A and B are shown apart, each in its own frame.
Chain A
Amino acid sequence: MMASILMLVFFTITATILDSAFTNAAKAAEEEKLQLQILSLISSAEQQGKQLIIPTYQHETRFNEASSGLYGYVLNRSGQELWRSRSAILISPVTARPQHPGKTSFGLDNTHIDVELFVATYGTVEESQGKDYHYTFVVMQDNVAYKASLSSYRSNLWLWLSAVALLLLGTQHILLSRGLKPLHNLALELKDIENGNADSLSGNYPKELSRLTGNLNRLVDSERKQRERYHQRLGDLAHSLKTPLAVISNAVNEPDDELVDIVKTQYQRMNQIVRYQLQRAVVSQQVTGITKVNLLEHTLQIKNALDKVYKEKSVLCEVRVKKDCYFQGDQSDLLEMLGNLMDNAYKYGAGEVKVSAHEDQEKLTISIEDNGIGVEEDQRDKITQRGARLDTQELGQGIGMAVIVDIIKSYHGSIEISDSSLLGAKFTLTFIKHHY
């Protein structure tokens, strides 16, 4: 719509400019023609003594025919008419004023009824017997031809411009409706998705839009997955809270000291459940790999925090991470993994912790070691598989490991527990690069 209005404005301006250019050019041509006629009159005139002699019949035949449309006059210095061509016999007197020698003028005389006349004048001096005689030659021509040509030009101009404008508007309309059709379809399909009638956008879109539709599909997909996850989490949460609630409700009739124990135990259990589910809700599920997080910087951040908390234990924490080592993912995920593992190492180690990392083209490996009592071999798998199901969690286990396992999974990474050269446990996290 806007484009159409702009186009109309543009065409109107163009037409106005062309019209005025043509009018000016036509007037200039008229002026030039009349000046030529004046020159021919001058050349036919001859000064004899005091008299200026002009042949009655001129070379230009229109001067000779009555009311031919071309009229010639000669005025003396005071403006009195000395001569007029035969064509001007029936025309009222000339309105032009005498002109100084060498000067010209051109204008339109509209004092006549029914007809407008172009008037050109030219002032001359003729010399005879040492005396100067001033004359003004006047040529008038009706503007009938001029008007005809102008109106023909105008009608042509408007005709063609309108044709071109119509053509352009039509083309624009066709192109726009064709070009916007996919967007229109897209809006309809999105409406369908919103109403639950469709799962994703169809693939029938032009190449220019396929990126957009691809992204939209991914967004819609991740939104749906997120929603499903929320549902599942909520269900998980509600179900897992039911057991401790049932235990408490059954314990109402127990003796007081046992009731206290039961409530305490079940409170701990419920607390753990809530914390675990909260953590899982916070863990970013969108693994984009777009953000890069500096590993050394964040390792040192955790180290400083833990040094404060375990100040009395005076833990010696060695960080062997290169400056340009990056984890591709979410900063809070990295902090969560490092925080939990390093916290365990500070807590269960005997004062020595080592964090190291290795990065190559294919993968990033992060190891956290301590000099504690280590992890029994038969416990290792159990720990690394924890977090898959909440029900398998035993009371009293920290939720940290479960969260770590969840995060690592979301990055398609792996975790391995082995013996450290520090004689304690060594947790190794591996992230394959093309996976995330």
Chain B
Amino acid sequence: MRILVIEDEPLLLEQLSSSLIKQGYAVDCASDGEEGLYQGTEYPYDLAIVDLGLPKIDGMEVIKQFREQGKSFPILILTARDQWQEKVLGLDSGADDYLTKPFEMDELLARVKALLRRSVGMASATQNFGPLSLDLNAQSVSLNKQEVELTAYEYKVIEYLLTHPHQVISKTILTEHIYDQDYDRDSNVIEVFVRRLRQKLDPDGSLAPIETLRGRGYRINPAIANG
């Protein structure tokens, strides 16, 4: 999952981004409203964290413009103001949740997870796909209740596929959502990840959890997509 963080306080931006990266998210940073608006417009994100008091373009305006552009990713507001008027305005302008500064990083991560889960339509943090089970909180995948050992990028790929179970996901989309913009991408790597995932999640070849649709991309096998 790829997250955009727009925050003008450099230290907080650094803390936010390193905490999120530690959690396995791909993170892009912007330190003012203009830059944030540009990135959010240009790249596909799964979530944005927006500080309300931003230089150049106000956070509220950035959110409004995202929504006007039809961007539907969830938005979490950070605000130093603890007033309801501010919260109501922020949520009215298109945000989905708010957090008042100072906040505990754990609280922020919990909100981010909840928002991401909500945005892909998962009612709880764990969901079953046939014998496979995805746990967003633990960031793990189990096969027949046995946790499968995955690298960080393997997990990112299977998480994205499982949270978008009925869609065909192209290699480009996968690349865009698991890497931040500074990463030197090579879509061939995706093929490597998928091959390894197939080996690990389906050692005897009976399940075929990831289908390849030639020239289009990957899809979770419809047989297990509904649980």
Determine, out of B22-30, B88-96, B130-138, the stretch whose residues face the partner at the interface.
B88-96
Q: Which A-chain residue is minimally distant from B123 (CB atoms)?
A: A312
A335 interfacial contact with B, CB 8 Å: yes
B188 interfacial contact with A, CB 8 Å: no
Q: How many residues of chain B have a CB within 8 Å of chain A?
A: 17
Verify B82–A275 contact, CB threshold 8 A: yes
Given contacts A301-B92, A304-B92, A305-B92, contact A311 B85 (CB under 8 A): no
Q: Which B-chain residue is minimally distant from A403 (CB atoms)?
A: B82
Partner of A305, one of B87, B114, B123: B87
Q: Which A-chain residue is minimally distant from B94 (CB atoms)?
A: A308
Determine which residue in B85, B87, B114, B123 has the highest number of CB atoms from chain A within 10 A of its CB, and name it. Answer: B85
**B-facing mask of A77-121, CB < 8 A → 1, else 0?**
000000000000000000000000000000000000000000000
**B-facing mask of A334-370, CB < 8 A → 1, else 0?**
0110111000000000000000000000000000000
In whole angstroms, how far apart are the Cα atoms of A18 and B96 in the complex?
A: 83
Interface positions of B from 41 to 99, Cβ below 8 Å from A: 82-85, 87-88, 91-92, 95-98
Q: Which A-chain residue is minimally distant from B117 (CB atoms)?
A: A312
CB distance from A420 to the nearest CB of B (A): 22
CB distance from B163 to the nearest CB of A (A): 16
**B-facing mask of A279-296, CB < 8 A → 1, else 0?**
100100000000000000
B203 interfacial contact with A, CB 8 Å: no
CB distance from B122 to the nearest CB of A (A): 10
In whole angstroms, how far apart are the Cα atoms of A336 and B98 in the complex?
A: 15
A188 interfacial contact with B, CB 8 Å: no
Contacts of A309 in B (CB 8 A): 91, 96-98
Verify A332–B85 contact, CB threshold 8 A: yes
A271 interfacial contact with B, CB 8 Å: yes
B118 interfacial contact with A, CB 8 Å: yes
Given contacts A275-B82, A336-B85, A339-B84, contact A312 B118 (CB under 8 A): yes
A278 interfacial contact with B, CB 8 Å: yes
In whole angstroms, how far apart are the Cα atoms of A405 and B84 in the complex?
A: 15
A217 interfacial contact with B, CB 8 Å: no
In whole angstroms, how far apart are the Cα atoms of A210 and B209 in the complex?
A: 86
Verify B96–A336 contact, CB threshold 8 A: no
B102 interfacial contact with A, CB 8 Å: yes
In whole angstroms, how far apart are the Cα atoms of A308 and B94 in the complex?
A: 10
Partner of B84, one of A271, A275, A311, A336: A336
Contacts of A161 in B (CB 8 A): none
Interface positions of A from 231 to 286, Cβ below 8 Å from B: 271, 275, 278-279, 282
Interface positions of B from 158 to 210, Cβ below 8 Å from A: none
Q: Which B-chain residue is minimally distant from A336 (CB atoms)?
A: B84
Determine which residue in B83, B96, B123 has the highest number of CB atoms from chain A within 10 A of its CB, and name it. Answer: B83
In whole angstroms, how far apart are the Cα atoms of A304 and B91 in the complex?
A: 8
Contacts of B114 in A (CB 8 A): 312
Partner of B97, one of A275, A304, A308, A339: A308
A302 interfacial contact with B, CB 8 Å: yes
Contacts of A301 in B (CB 8 A): 88, 92
Verify A302–B97 contact, CB threshold 8 A: no
Contacts of B97 in A (CB 8 A): 308-309
Contacts of A418 in B (CB 8 A): none
Q: Which B-chain residue is minimally distant from A307 (CB atoms)?
A: B91
Contacts of A340 in B (CB 8 A): 84
In whole angstroms, how far apart are the Cα atoms of A311 and B117 in the complex?
A: 12
Partner of A282, one of B83, B100, B118: B83
CB distance from B78 to the nearest CB of A (A): 14
Verify A335–B91 contact, CB threshold 8 A: no
A384 interfacial contact with B, CB 8 Å: no
CB distance from B14 to the nearest CB of A (A): 20
A428 interfacial contact with B, CB 8 Å: no
Verify A336–B92 contact, CB threshold 8 A: no
Determine which residue in B84, B85, B97, B98 has the highest number of CB atoms from chain A within 10 A of its CB, and name it. Answer: B84
Q: Which A-chain residue is minimally distant from B100 (CB atoms)?
A: A275
Given contacts A301-B92, A304-B91, A309-B98, contact A338 B82 (CB under 8 A): no
Q: Which B-chain residue is minimally distant from A268 (CB atoms)?
A: B104
CB distance from B142 to the nearest CB of A (A): 24
In whole angstroms, how far apart are the Cα atoms of A332 and B87 in the complex?
A: 11
A162 interfacial contact with B, CB 8 Å: no
Contacts of B84 in A (CB 8 A): 302, 332, 335-336, 338-340
Contacts of A278 in B (CB 8 A): 82
A331 interfacial contact with B, CB 8 Å: yes
In whole angstroms, how far apart are the Cα atoms of A339 and B89 in the complex?
A: 12
Verify A335–B96 contact, CB threshold 8 A: no
Interface residues of chain B, those whose CB is within 8 Å of chain A, are: 82-85, 87-88, 91-92, 95-98, 100, 102, 114, 118, 123
23 contacts between A and B (CB under 8 A): A275-B82, A278-B82, A279-B82, A279-B83, A304-B91, A305-B91, A305-B92, A308-B95, A308-B96, A308-B97, A309-B91, A309-B96, A309-B97, A311-B96, A311-B118, A312-B123, A331-B85, A332-B84, A332-B85, A335-B83, A335-B85, A338-B84, A339-B87
User: Which 4 A-B residue pairs are closest in the complex by CB-CB distance?
Assistant: A339-B84, A305-B91, A335-B84, A332-B85
Known: A311-B96, A332-B85. 17 other contacts (CB 8 A): A275-B82, A282-B83, A301-B92, A302-B84, A304-B91, A305-B88, A305-B91, A305-B92, A308-B95, A308-B96, A311-B118, A312-B114, A332-B83, A332-B84, A336-B84, A338-B84, A340-B84
